[in-house]
Structure 1
Amino acid sequence: MSLYQKLLQRAEEGRPVRVALIGAGKFGAMYLAQVPRTPGVHVVAIADLSPVAARANLQRVGWEAERAQASSMQQALAQGTTWITDDWQALMREDAIDIIIECTGNPIAAVTHILAAFEHGKHVVNVTVEADAFCGPLLASRAAEAGVVYSLAFGDQPALICDLVDWARTCGFPVVAAGRGHKWLPHFSESTPETVWANYGLTPEQAARGGLNPKMFNSFLDGSKPSIESAAVANATGLTVPSNGLLYPPASVKDIPYVTRPISEGGVLERKGMVEVVSSLEPDGRVIDYDIRMGVWVTVEGETEYIRNCFEEYNAHTDPSGRYFTLYKRWHLIGLEVGMSVASVALRGESTGVALSWQADVVATAKRDLQAGEMLDGEGGYTVWGKLLPAERSLELGGVPLGLAHGVKLLRPVKKGQSLCWDDVDMDVSTPAYKLRREMESMYSMEPSS
């Protein structure tokens, strides 16, 4: 039975999947825009630091006022309406809620919310991929211990890439490479919230109309978000990552199977079985026609002559050798697609992407020369960007994960382009996020190297 049929059945039986959302910003609002059109799902409660802002976003996406009129959790459950609150812990205490969607975008808070959800026996769909990037393997372990499902969010590119990788492997194809697209030039790593819109390709007016956060969007542009998402994919699929950061080879869709081959065969990969991000810009800034900027892709290998002949017979676009074929989705719809994760987790007990090992990390790296006493402002800000590294290299470096590099004071100068280590910063060691990360480091540092 399809997920949609299962949702219809739940609706007919009067026992919808009960969801609570933490964080009703842009991503959360996109999910909420689809809920009135989704059978068998009841958003019981929304927790946000600003209930007023949450209500404004509900109005923006077209919710009728009476849909969010509940004055308590109990009233929401009885009436099939939604309660809006600033008390996220109340969501955890309610036994009737099946799934928590963590949608704050704040990785330190997200870890606290996710661990609390596990303690109360609730499944989690984690939109805050920044948290998954620095401690996802241990979050997955905690979920398994609690007997619940932990999942990346469908619609966000990591889960979509995981889906393509799963397709390939289930069909018997070796995965040569997988990843997403991005608009990239090397100097974008220096971008700040002041320069983001011109480089991103939006006017300030368009940004204001969409309620877009310049710091958040700058995290996409400066390479932090592509690194974070690539780390999540590597940890969920077992694919490896480049030894010194993403390469961003420029390519049109038709050229992806050309560039995502091993170096020995004319591509850019150090080896087969890696994550990478394809740029939609040539090195001189020219826009590539029919790009993959907003999409995802997987490159597979036809290992036998028969399979390669099938590629040719069915007009599959391959590299010149006919050995490498790329399947892709040119677009992703972000929060509008999260319902796939909610249904998969609730109705099949299956995640749409979950960390299986620690393959990759994203280390805070200086955007400019930084001085002792400066405060780091985290992802998308003025001080650091996130560089993707193999987990082993980050562990050797003592690298500070980007997700923990916010509101942290520097103890000594750091040169532009240098990745930060624990000794460089005055870290708040009291947070669950920090403790979980350090526990994960200890666990993996004790494992014998392969």
Structure 2
Amino acid sequence: MAIQQPSSTQTRVALTGARGGYGRTLLAQLRNVADMTPTVLVDPDGAGVESMLADLGISDATVVPDLAGIDWSAIDVLVEATGRVAAGVAYAEAAIAHGVHVVMVSKEVETVAGVTLAATAAAAGVRYLPGDGDQPANLIRLVTWIERVGLDIVALGKSGEYDLVFDPTAGTVTQVDETIPAPGMADLLALGDDLHATLAARADLVAPLKRRAAADHCEMTVVAQYTGYTADREDLHYPVVRTAELADVYAARADGGIIDRPGSLDVFSMLRLPDEASFGGGVFVVVRTGDPETWRLLAGKGHVVSRDGRYACVFWPYHLMGVETPLTIAAAASGTATIPAPRQSSVLAGRTAEPLTAGAAFQVAGHHHEVAGIDPVLLSDDDAPAGTAPFYLLGGARLVRDVPAGHLLTFDDLTGIDEIGQRMFEEARAAGSRAAL
């Protein structure tokens, strides 16, 4: 196998899932990056891709419907963005076999097969990296430099995709295009003396809104694989929080915060007023301050520090999708990435939200890639029993027996599981168990 080498002037990029929103943002940005060019675009909606290319003014990329149409000799780096496990694994494996570096945007693939694909790539002498622009890679990058400077991490995570915007005049909270009455929220804009009571009251007011998403658990699982951190609770806390409160809320429980396990992954719902800036689905890390004088100085410069001065929050209030991904493409081509290799430290699994009967079929569907009737849960590898089925292998599977509500699904409960994905997942878990010995 020959490793593909970039030309002297340009890195040649292939993109799967080209018709999706992520693909559009990346292709639009590549027009402005002189040393990169899209050469192969893969999507079953060829007409849609061609229309998008015409709109973007891109004329020299080859559009193919599937794996069979790819000319690997014309590619240096593959950006995998299908969001589908079986397809994503197939594209990544083929790229590695042809000496092509892989930038993995499909977080669903990462939670099932990322550890094994990364090991396969390393053995083949090619690079495998999570794509900048989505929250997992951004948070991994933030954590890497925070650890490098020696700060003590207490919690880390991201905001949910959609803000909760409180209008004091109307007394309502809006999430995207859904508005609900929120009487009393004006009295809850400050944490007050009882942080836990305030958080509980806020959560009650916004209970009619759907704030939890499988995609959030998926993204935190990817971060877990690359950092070794895991969740404080399997369903995540999801507190309703304003940016300036993050260091107080994500403090250790002994100091009045919500964190029981140091180094916990979590997701919060951003609460803001209409004229306040969004967190932008960005990422954060809460650290212990250590030297009080340093953080008094930084607090004076506007940094977020807890009221007792023991904790601080470092955050990037954005994720720009494909606009940022050229950074990862460049790192893949040049070998300059500094993030660690992933390892199996957490499992994204599924618990039944209701009793289900034998024969029930599962599909991954919707914008957030949910599975009807199944709640995503993020478990440490130690807490996930042998045989636990990963959430994103449920698509296309069926139950072979009746199961009660709250049941953690295992491979023994299911038929129709993608065999390649199962093999890769079980290989990663076995390798992680050996490494722990």
- Interval of TM-score (by shorter of Structure 1 and Structure 2): 0.7 to 0.9
Report the CA distance shift for 1:429/1:276 in structure 2 as closer, same or farther (over 3 A): closer
Report the CA distance shift for 1:287/1:138 in structure 2 as closer, same or farther (over 3 A): farther
Secondary structure of the structure 1 residue equivalent to 2:126: coil
Partner of residue 23 from structure 1, selected from 17, 25, 31:
17
1:84-126 CA distances to partner (integer Å, 9 max, x unpaired)? Answer: 11242443x5334110011111012111211221111111011
| Runs of 4+ that moved beyond 6 A | 286-289
- 2:342 corresponds to 1:324: no
Determine if contact 1:366/1:418 at 8 Å carries over to the other structure: yes
Separation of aligned partners in 1, 2:318 and 2:346 = 25
Partner of 1:359: 345
Give the partner amino acid of 1:180.
K
Determine if contact 1:243/1:390 at 8 Å carries over to the other structure: no
Give the partner amino acid of 1:63.
L
Partner of 1:279: 269
Partner of 1:404: 393
Partner of 1:58: 53
Give the partner amino acid of 1:229.
E
Q: Which runs of 5+ in 1 are unaligned?
A: 1-9, 69-80, 186-197, 204-219
Determine if contact 2:344/2:429 at 8 Å carries over to the other structure: no
Displacement after TM superposition at 1:245 (Å) = 2.9
- 2:428 corresponds to 1:440: yes
Displacement after TM superposition at 1:331 (Å) = 2.2
Partner of 1:151: 129
Report the CA distance shift for 1:20/1:155 in structure 2 as closer, same or farther (over 3 A): same
Give the TM-score normalised by the residue count of structure 2: 0.81
Report the CA distance shift for 1:288/1:377 in structure 2 as closer, same or farther (over 3 A): farther
Displacement after TM superposition at 1:265 (Å) = 1.0
Report the CA distance shift for 1:287/1:361 in structure 2 as closer, same or farther (over 3 A): farther
Partner of 2:258: 268
Partner of 1:191: none
Determine if contact 1:246/1:277 at 8 Å carries over to the other structure: yes
Give the partner amino acid of 2:157.
G
Give the partner amino acid of 2:425.
R
Separation of aligned partners in 1, 2:355 and 2:341 = 34
What does residue range 141-180 of structure 1 map to in structure 2 within 5 Å? 141-180=119-158
- 2:421 corresponds to 1:421: no
Partner of 1:76: none
Secondary structure of the structure 2 residue equivalent to 1:58: helix
Secondary structure of the structure 2 residue equivalent to 1:264: helix
Partner of 1:241: 231
1:356-388 CA distances to partner (integer Å, 9 max, x unpaired)? Answer: 322211102224332211111133242323211
Partner of residue 85 from structure 1, selected from 38, 60, 64:
64
Partner of 1:48: 43
Partner of 1:254: 244
Secondary structure of the structure 2 residue equivalent to 1:130: helix
Q: Decide which moves more: 164-173 or 311-320.
A: 311-320
Give the partner amino acid of 1:276.
D
Displacement after TM superposition at 1:130 (Å) = 0.9
Separation of aligned partners in 2, 1:400 and 1:200 = 32
1:279-333 CA distances to partner (integer Å, 9 max, x unpaired)? Answer: 2359xxx999766362211112222344344434544320122121112122222
What does residue range 178-189 of structure 1 map to in structure 2 within 5 Å? 178-182=156-160
Give the partner amino acid of 1:420.
L
Partner of residue 29 from structure 2, selected from 26, 34, 58:
34
Q: Which runs of 5+ in 2 are unaligned?
A: 1-5, 164-172, 179-209
1:371-425 CA distances to partner (integer Å, 9 max, x unpaired)? Answer: 211111133242323211112212x153211110101111112333432111111
Report the CA distance shift for 1:429/1:27 in structure 2 as closer, same or farther (over 3 A): closer
Higher percent of residues as strand: 2
Partner of 1:115: 93
Separation of aligned partners in 2, 1:120 and 1:446 = 30
Determine if contact 2:25/2:323 at 8 Å carries over to the other structure: yes
Partner of 1:302: 289
Report the CA distance shift for 1:172/1:222 in structure 2 as closer, same or farther (over 3 A): closer
The alignment's C-alpha RMSD in Å is: 2.8
Separation of aligned partners in 2, 1:368 and 1:333 = 36
Higher percent of residues as helix: 1
Report the CA distance shift for 1:98/1:349 in structure 2 as closer, same or farther (over 3 A): farther
Displacement after TM superposition at 1:354 (Å) = 5.6
Separation of aligned partners in 2, 1:412 and 1:257 = 46
Separation of aligned partners in 2, 1:47 and 1:429 = 22
Determine if contact 1:136/1:354 at 8 Å carries over to the other structure: no
Partner of 1:211: none
Partner of 1:188: none
Give the partner amino acid of 1:239.
Y
1:183-226 CA distances to partner (integer Å, 9 max, x unpaired)? Answer: 699xxxxxxxxxxxx996248xxxxxxxxxxxxxxxx9542111
- 2:133 corresponds to 1:133: no
